[in-house]
């Protein structure tokens, strides 16, 4: 198991109880000058991306369960992967005067206006899962989620090892949602590693929008226009599972004729890995609920949190997937 213990420092940081940010005084900022609000009176608005993948479904379930366990009122919205719907939901939470807003930005850009409205209303914002690309980092308290560049590098490291004896490796890349932090960064990290050797060539790269149907459709087209594909690098399991369907429909054997590396490690992906149809998976944990609750209760108590909280993740080979599957939480 290749565990990167990054989040211990961050978890420790959650316990810093010094007077700090976001203990504002207006409506919608949890604790105030007179001290913390009772936790069971807190109201949090969460604007979720959508329900595009097994990862997202697991993320939603975990967040809703964590807030129910903490007895915190969670207002939840599903944006069907549309930025305008997330912005509408955030505006509605501001109108309702919630104490905190948390969301996973479907894409990196276009958030400053609505985040400035939340700031003006004194409502602290927590980013979960995905980051925003803004010059003003006062618009959010913290970004809690994975290091996607690192995930891309881990996928690249496996490819370099797996194809050590190959002279030429033709790669097709199934990209996540265009403009989304995980898509941008997973491509960047992967390219950095394989770019060191020109035997690796990305012969085609296109978005499948993180969905199984998208992965299948794009892979069908790539198979038609690229006769000699050695490897699929899919930015998530769902697109990798769609690619498997396309590869089998073309009469080829996924995991053998064409190797596949994906990111997430959700149950369906891990089953395909155990079955040898996927060859390696880089984990991206969707279980952010408890850490999000801890951030909010720390802020409510007048504490401060790290600006960046990186989630703990690992990688899986076929053997490790077979071993992990029986107890897999998602
Ligand atoms: C990553 C997350 C991505 C997953 C996909 O943290 O934003 O979105 O990798 C999901 O499965 O759709």
Print the SS3 string covering 223-278.
HHHCCCCCEEEECCHHHHHHHHHHHHHCCCCECCCEEEEEEECCHHHHHHHHCCCC
**pLDDT exceeds 90 at position 21:** no
In a domain, 316, yes or no: no
Judge if 105 and 93 occupy the same domain. yes
> What would the mean pLDDT of 92-103 be, rounded to a whole number?
98
> What would the mean pLDDT of 90-110 be, rounded to a whole number?
98
In a domain, 217, yes or no: yes
pLDDT in tens, 3-13: 444 444 445 44
**pLDDT exceeds 80 at position 317:** yes
Between CA 289 and CA 305 the distance in angstroms is 16
In a domain, 21, yes or no: yes
Judge if 109 and 225 occupy the same domain. no
Span from the CA of 32 to the centroid of ligand 1 (angstroms): 35
* Residue 282, token pair as written in the block: 């880089």
Domain count, the chain: 2
**By alpha-carbon position, which residue is closest to atom 6 of ligand 1?**
129
In a domain, 210, yes or no: yes
Name the residue among 31, 58, 52 with its Cα closest to residue 42: 31
- Whole-model pTM: value is 0.90
Judge if 246 and 236 occupy the same domain. yes
Judge if 52 and 90 occupy the same domain. yes
pLDDT in tens, 248-266: 999 999 999 999 999 999 9
In a domain, 223, yes or no: yes
Judge if 296 and 268 occupy the same domain. no
Kindly give the pairing relationship between strand 73-78 and strand 231-234: unpaired
Between CA 240 and CA 254 the distance in angstroms is 10
Average model confidence (pLDDT) for the chain?
Answer: 92
Range of the domain at 246: 148-284
In a domain, 321, yes or no: no
Judge if 232 and 204 occupy the same domain. yes
Kindly give the pairing relationship between strand 100-103 and strand 43-48: parallel
Span from the CA of 55 to the centroid of ligand 1 (angstroms): 6
* Residue 176, token pair as written in the block: 């996540």
Give the three-state DSSP class for 46. strand
Judge if 157 and 101 occupy the same domain. no
Residue 207, domain CATH: 3.40.50.2300
pLDDT at 32: 61
pLDDT in tens, 148-159: 999 999 999 999
Judge if 171 and 55 occupy the same domain. no
pLDDT at 1: 38
Identify the residues whose C-beta falls under 6 Å from ligand 1: 52-53, 55-56, 129-130, 145-146, 182, 210, 236, 238, 263-264, 284
pLDDT confidence band for 33 (50 / 70 / 90):
low
Identify which of 47, 210, 243, 266 to mutate to test ligand 1's pocket (most ligand atoms within 8 A of the CB). Answer: 210
Residue linked to tokens 């993180």:
210
pLDDT at 36: 87
Give buried/exposed letters for 21-45 (b at 16+ CB in 10 A, else e).
Answer: bbbbeeebbbbbeeebbeeeebbbb
Judge if 128 and 235 occupy the same domain. no
In a domain, 200, yes or no: yes
């Amino acid at each position: 198991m290749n565990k990167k213990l990054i989040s211990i420092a961050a978890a420790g940081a959650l316990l810093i109880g010094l007077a700090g940010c976001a203990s504002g005084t207006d409506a919608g900022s949890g604790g105030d000058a007179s001290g913390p609000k009772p936790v069971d009176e807190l109201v949090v608005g969460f604007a979720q991306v959508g329900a595009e993948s097994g990862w997202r479904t697991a993320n939603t379930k975990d967040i809703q369960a964590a807030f129910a366990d903490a007895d915190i009122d969670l207002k939840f919205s599903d944006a069907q992967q549309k930025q305008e719907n997330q912005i509408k939901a955030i505006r509605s939470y501001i109108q309702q005067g919630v104490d905190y807003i948390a969301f996973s930005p479907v894409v990196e850009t276009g958030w400053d206006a609505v985040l400035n409205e939340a700031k003006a209303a004194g409502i602290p914002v927590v980013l979960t899962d995905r980051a925003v690309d803004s010059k003003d980092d006062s618009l959010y308290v913290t970004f809690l989620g994975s290091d996607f560049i690192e995930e891309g590098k881990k996928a690249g490291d496996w490819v370099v090892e797996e194809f050590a004896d190959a002279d030429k490796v033709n790669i097709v890349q199934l990209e996540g949602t265009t403009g989304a932090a995980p898509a941008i960064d997973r491509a960047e990290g992967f390219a950095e590693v394989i770019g060191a050797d020109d035997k690796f060539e990305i012969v085609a790269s296109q978005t499948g929008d993180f969905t199984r149907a998208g992965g299948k459709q794009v892979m069908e087209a790539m198979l038609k226009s690229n006769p000699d594909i050695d490897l699929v690098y899919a930015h998530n399991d769902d697109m990798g599972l769609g690619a498997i369907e396309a590869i089998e429909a073309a009469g080829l054997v996924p995991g053998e004729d064409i190797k596949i590396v994906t990111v997430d490690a959700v149950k369906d992906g891990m089953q395909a890995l155990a079955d040898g149809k996927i060859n390696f998976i880089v984990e991206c944990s969707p279980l952010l609920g408890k850490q999000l609750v801890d951030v909010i209760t720390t802020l409510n108590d007048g504490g401060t949190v790290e600006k960046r909280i990186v989630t703990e993740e690992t990688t899986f080979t076929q053997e490790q997937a077979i071993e992990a599957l029986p107890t897999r939480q998602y």
